[in-house]
Amino acid sequence: MKIGLTYDLKSDWVWKPTDPKDANAELDKPKTVDELSAALEAGGHDVVRIGGLKNLVNLLPNLEVDIVFNICEGL
Q: What is the pTM of this model?
A: 0.86
pLDDT of 75 > 80? The answer is no
> Would you state the pLDDT for residue 28?
93
Q: Kindly state the average pLDDT of the residues 46-72.
A: 95
Long-range contacts formed by 47-54: CB under 8 A, 24+ apart: 47/3, 47/4, 47/5, 48/2, 48/3, 48/4, 48/5, 49/5, 49/7, 50/4, 50/5, 50/6, 50/7, 51/6, 51/7, 51/8, 51/9, 51/12, 52/6, 52/7, 52/8, 52/9, 52/12
- pLDDT tens digits for range 2-35: 999 999 998 888 888 998 888 888 889 999 999 9
